[in-house]
Amino acid sequence: GAKSNWWSPGDNGPCGPDSEMFYDVSGTHIDGLTKEGFLVADEKQEVIEIWNDVFMEYEKKDGKVIGKLATKNVDTGSGLERVTCVVQGKRSVYDTDLFIPLIEKISELSTKDDQHAKRIVAEHIRSSSFLITDGVAPSNTDQGYILRRLIRRAVRYADQLGMPEQSLKAVIEIIITKYGTAYPSVLEKKDTILREISQEEEKFRKTLVHGIKEFEKLRGSSVNGRDAFTLFSTYGFPIEMTQELAKEKGMMVDLEAFALEMDKHQELSRTSSAGKFKGGLANMNEKTTMLHTVTHLMLAALRKYLGVEVHQAGSNITEERTRFDFIYPKKVERETLNKVEMYVNEAISKNCDVMIEIMKKEDAMSAGVEGSFWEKYPDKVTVYTVKCSDGTVYSQELCGGPHVANTGNIKGSFKIIKEEASSAGIRRIKGILEPQS
């Protein structure tokens, strides 16, 4: 029925019935099962879903099917790991050669035998390695928060297994060796993966023991919002980890009260930063707008000279200076900063046009437009492009503006006056426009 065999992307878009294909991995040649018998076999992992077809023939708008699509299609998807499971005659993906080397290494490093914990460590560290390869860094927001949750959950279960501190590196080495041929970028980012996971583990371990002790002090059948927020803000426990700990003790977590505590904290942060406009601009006058465009050019230069894993982490732009935070793990050498200055000033001197375009989000992503937190943007996005008459594109980035119409309108020469650490994995640059002599 529509509840279990119907797929749609949400309230709007193409949709239709779907079929799920299962493979008998029990070796007993199950056939002619009743619905009840099939559900039992599924529970016992005697059958495994390996394929799914969605018959896209209807259109949905505002949550309701409004008619049939002019062009119908079949959207088919297969779980590659599950196909591997079938081909290798296993009942679980964790029993295939994709995971066995990882679990064997974890077992070698463990003093306790907990298969569930070993699987969590293996899966989470593998996922974290690929997220870092794609340029994500641990943080408290968006993709970075997902990564932080994965690493910290893996660290907690590694502790339960009795694995030594920093022994996750040995697991990462196997992941890189195993996947490096099929995914060369994993091999290329080896040092980054090892560094990010090691730093996040080290950071979390400073508060993990104390946080667990604080949690053990809690009494009653529920963790209140204030205690959950203290575990989050003081001890670095993602709310999902607190929920997991609570479940182990038969307790609930007051998520609504936690959300209220979080809102209060965010409102306090906003109040302390009063005066900022959208995009980190203190105001929208001529000088601030010039520095806003300069900041776009600077990010493009940083990505050119440091690598495409560099992304914006925050900004604050006033009439006097730009302060820009970006994802990068170490100090940027003065030689590189000089190149960044030259890149920006070259774009200014060439009188490049700054063009604005409304694009479909998927088109902007495909075109390589720079942007962070894509999931927050609507289906149509605003893209600012700095392009010169010779065809050179100096910057192309998602933004809400405002910007100068032409880089020739920028008065002054860009100069980086400071580069420093903002927080773990985040660097900060302060830059100004010096008057031209």
**Residue 1, domain member (yes or no):** no
Q: What is the mean pLDDT of residues 399-425?
A: 89
Which amino acid belongs to residue 390?
Answer: D
In Å, how far are 1, 153, 154, 231, 261 from 120, measured between CA atoms? 33, 8, 6, 22, 30
Asked whether the predicted pLDDT for residue 91 surpasses 90, the reply is no
Considering the domain architecture, whether residues 230 and 358 belong to the same structural domain is answered as no
Considering the domain architecture, whether residues 367 and 422 belong to the same structural domain is answered as yes
Cα–Cα distance measured from residue 169 to residue 113, given in angstroms and rounded to the nearest whole number: 20
Considering the domain architecture, whether residues 252 and 284 belong to the same structural domain is answered as no
Q: Which residues pair with 48 in a beta bridge?
A: 23
Q: What are phi and psi of 303, to 5 degrees?
A: -70, -30
Q: Final residue of a domain: which of 218, 235, 269?
A: 269
**Reduced to 3 states, what is the DSSP secondary structure of residue 186?**
helix
Please answer whether residues 361 and 379 qualify as being in contact, where contact means their C-beta atoms are separated by less than 8 angstroms: yes
Q: Tell how far CA 262 is from the center of its chain.
A: 20
Considering the domain architecture, whether residues 261 and 119 belong to the same structural domain is answered as yes
**Residue 106, domain member (yes or no):** no
The number of distinct structural domains making up the chain is 3
Considering the domain architecture, whether residues 228 and 344 belong to the same structural domain is answered as no
Cα–Cα distance measured from residue 290 to residue 354, given in angstroms and rounded to the nearest whole number: 12
Q: What is the mean pLDDT of residues 281-310?
A: 87
The CATH number of residue 312's host domain is: 3.30.980.10
Q: What is the mean pLDDT of residues 208-219?
A: 86
Residue 281 carries which DSSP code? B
Cα–Cα distance measured from residue 437 to residue 245, given in angstroms and rounded to the nearest whole number: 64
Considering the domain architecture, whether residues 129 and 29 belong to the same structural domain is answered as no
Summarised one tens digit per residue, pLDDT across range 146-177 is 999 899 999 999 999 999 999 999 999 999 99
Closest Cα partner for 242 from 156, 337, 351?
Answer: 156
How much is the pLDDT for 277?
A: 38
Q: What is the mean pLDDT of residues 396-425?
A: 89
Residue 376 carries which DSSP code? G
**Residue 343, domain member (yes or no):** yes
Q: What domain range includes position 354? A: 278-434
**Residue 219, domain member (yes or no):** yes
Considering the domain architecture, whether residues 85 and 210 belong to the same structural domain is answered as no
Question: Is the CA virtual torsion 255, 257, 259, 262 positive or negative?
Answer: negative
Summarised one tens digit per residue, pLDDT across range 173-202 is 999 999 999 999 999 999 999 999 998 898
Which amino acid belongs to residue 166?
Answer: Q
**Residue 262, domain member (yes or no):** yes
Considering the domain architecture, whether residues 86 and 126 belong to the same structural domain is answered as no
Considering the domain architecture, whether residues 193 and 148 belong to the same structural domain is answered as yes
Cα–Cα distance measured from residue 231 to residue 433, given in angstroms and rounded to the nearest whole number: 43
**Residue 67, domain member (yes or no):** yes
Considering the domain architecture, whether residues 390 and 370 belong to the same structural domain is answered as yes
Asked whether the predicted pLDDT for residue 350 surpasses 50, the reply is yes
What is the dihedral angle through the alpha carbons of 203, 209, 214, 215, rounded to the nearest 10 degrees?
100
Q: Final residue of a domain: which of 252, 269, 286?
A: 269
Tokens at 231, concatenated: 């575990």
**Residue 104, domain member (yes or no):** no
Q: Final residue of a domain: which of 60, 95, 130?
A: 95
More confident residue, 435 or 415: 415
Asked whether the predicted pLDDT for residue 220 surpasses 80, the reply is yes
How much is the pLDDT for 373?
A: 65
- For residue 402, whether the previous peptide bond is cis, meaning omega lies within 30 degrees of 0, is yes
The DSSP result for 65-81, as a single string, is: EEEEEEEEEEEEEE-HH
pLDDT band for position 275 (cuts 50, 70, 90): very low
Considering the domain architecture, whether residues 391 and 414 belong to the same structural domain is answered as yes
How much is the pLDDT for 32?
A: 72
More confident residue, 119 or 405: 119
Centre a 10 Å sphere on the Cβ of residue 315 and count the other Cβ atoms it contains: 20
User: Of all helices (H) and strands (E), which one includes residue 177?
Assistant: helix 168-179
Considering the domain architecture, whether residues 59 and 200 belong to the same structural domain is answered as no
**Residue 105, domain member (yes or no):** no
Please answer whether residues 319 and 288 qualify as being in contact, where contact means their C-beta atoms are separated by less than 8 angstroms: yes
Please answer whether residues 254 and 223 qualify as being in contact, where contact means their C-beta atoms are separated by less than 8 angstroms: yes
User: Of all helices (H) and strands (E), which one includes residue 102?
Assistant: helix 100-109
Q: Which residue has the tokens 């192309």?
A: 396
What is the dihedral angle through the alpha carbons of 396, 402, 407, 408, rounded to the nearest 10 degrees?
170
